Amino acid sequence: MTTHSLLLLPGDGIGPEVMAQVERVIAFFGKRGKASFKTETALVGGAAYDKHGVAVTDETVAKAQTVDAILFGSVGGPKWDKVAYEHRPEAGLLRLRKDLDLFANLRPAICYPALAEASSLKRELVEGLDILILRELTGGTYFGEPKEIVTLENGQRRGVDTTVYTTGEIERIARVAFDLARKRSGKVHSAEKRNVMVTGLLWNQVVTALHAKEGQGIKLEHILADACAMQLVRNPKQFDVIVCDNLFGDMLSDEAAMLTGSIGMLPSASLGAPDPKTGKRKALYEPVHGSAPDIAGQGSANPIAAIASYGMALRYSCDMPHEADMIDKAIAGTLARGFRTSDIMQPNMRKVGTADMGTAILEELATVAK
Ligand code: IPM
Ligand code: MG
């Protein structure tokens, strides 16, 4: 029997609360006996800073390099507002992404039928929505140098962030977009700002050239990133796969998340390149939502995004697509039965906390498994 090694990094805020529910779901699949899971837990973010003075330790990064998948919770919170910039909680996540070269960030935005009313858009605009934002995750404005605040001779201070992309970085993410689109409707929108940014111009040229070379069967459309943001709320179902750089992807994925009713619903996968020998990709799975310090510790957070992230790990790292489908079905079924955490609460539904939502999903899983 295959054993999959998982590194759990619950992090800060609601991270540990939602991860506790993920552990119950891991135990469920462990007991079913198709594969076993070996889990280890480590600190990240503010929790790591409090104990070790850094947002992630070298040992944890080394461990992360060796496991089949990392399950990440969330990091950050007001408690660490005054911490030096290089040690802020988010730095732990960014280092993991960069050191493991997790360049491809898959952020599906799926509107469960039961939640169409919870969206801030009209039901007909979002019902059945199933789009995938593919965000480049290791380049662009997040990591470009120089990145600094300098004091000028006239006493003013100047902050600089730098957006940098090479052809290789653009090609590899565009290739992932085409591969993913082939398993979906075959349509890719590439979003950039070629009208203002030279990185956008290069992005457009490289994606176009790769499409001519490797994009057989793919319908490629270029869209300016600002227009993409607008079209996402005007007519989101026109999209299937949207590929974009790191910064635009950060924003467009939050926007897309909200279309589905709650950012508490959405999972994500961050993947590296396949290993030339084994074909395996390094991978980190995390909910798109943040640490939600305002509700942390109350047991009210929505664990669905974290559980769905484990589902993505089953699909992309454990070769267990059937089990991944089971999780998706169990989530949809639980919502259809009326269970709601407060972020997605609607009239006449059953309001539950984090643990009860976990229990409801496990019950549903048991039914789906029959
Ligand atoms: C995300 C988050 C992160 C990002 C933060 C926590 C650094 O917003 O994953 O979208 O900006 O990438
Ligand atoms: Mg974000």
Nearest CA owner, ligand 1 atom 8 = 250
Q: Is 85 a catalytic residue?
A: no
93 neighbors 72 (Cβ within 8 angstroms): yes
For residues 135 and 170, the answer to whether their CB atoms sit within 8 Å is no
- Cβ 289 vs Cβ 254: under 8 Å: no
* Residue 236 neighbours by CB under 8 Å, 6+ apart: 121, 125, 126, 129, 131, 256, 259
Cα angle 99, 103, 107 (rounded to 5 degrees) comes to 125
Q: Among 3.40.640.10, 3.40.718.10, 3.30.460.10, 1.10.10.10, what is the CATH number of 109-136+166-262? A: 3.40.718.10
Residues with CB under 6 A from ligand 1: 90, 93-94, 250
226 is catalytic: yes
Active site residue 63: no
* C-alpha of 330 from chain center: 20
The HSE-up count of residue 208 (CA atoms within 13 Å, CB side) is 10
Q: How close is the Cα of 115 to the center of ligand 2, in Å?
A: 22
Q: Which of 250, 258, 268, when mutated, tests ligand 1's pocket best, judged by the most ligand atoms within 8 Å of its CB?
A: 250
- Rounded to whole angstroms, the Cα distance separating 132 from 130 reads 7
Separation of CA 77 and ligand 2 centre (Å): 14
pLDDT the model gives residue 262: 77
Q: Could you write out the DSSP letters of every residue in 110-162?
A: E--GGGGGGSSS-HHHHTT-EEEEEEE-SSGGGTEEEEEEEE-TTS-EEEEEE
The verdict on whether 122 is a catalytic residue reads no
Q: Ligand 1 pocket check: which of 90, 133, 247, 268 to mutate, most ligand atoms within 8 Å of Cβ?
A: 90
Distance 277 CA to ligand 1 centre (A): 31
Identical fold between 1-103+272-370 and 109-136+166-262? yes
CB atoms within 10 A of CB 238: 13
Mutate to test the pocket of ligand 1, among 56, 94, 286 (most ligand atoms within 8 A of CB): 94
CA distance 118 to 365: 24
Would you call 254 a catalytic residue per the annotation?
yes
Number of the ligand 1 atom closest to the C-alpha atom of 137: 12
* Catalytic pick among 130, 254, 319, 325: 254
**Positive or negative: CA dihedral 177, 179, 182, 183:** negative
In tens digits, the chain (370 residues) has pLDDT values of 899 999 999 999 999 999 999 999 999 999 998 999 999 999 999 999 999 999 999 999 999 999 999 999 999 999 999 999 999 999 999 999 999 999 999 999 999 888 888 888 999 999 999 999 999 999 999 999 999 999 999 999 999 999 999 999 999 999 999 999 999 999 999 999 999 999 999 999 999 999 999 999 999 999 999 999 999 999 999 999 999 999 999 999 989 988 987 778 889 999 999 999 999 999 999 998 899 999 999 999 999 999 999 999 999 999 999 999 999 999 999 999 999 999 999 899 999 999 999 999 999 999 999 8
Question: Which CATH class name applies to 1-103+272-370?
Answer: alpha beta
What is the residue type of 82?
A: K
Catalytic residue among 58, 179, 226, 275: 226
Residue spans of the domains in the chain: they are: 1-103+272-370, 109-136+166-262
Q: Supply the pLDDT for residue 117.
A: 84
Give the per-residue pLDDT at 114.
83
The number of the ligand 1 atom at minimal distance from the alpha carbon of 94 is 7
**Which residues partner with 8 through β-bridges?**
41, 71
Q: Which atom of ligand 1 is nearest to the CA of 93?
A: 7
Number of Cβ within a 10 Å radius of residue 139: 22
Cβ partners under 8 Å of residue 11, min gap 6: 43, 44, 45, 46, 47, 72, 73, 74, 75, 89, 92, 291
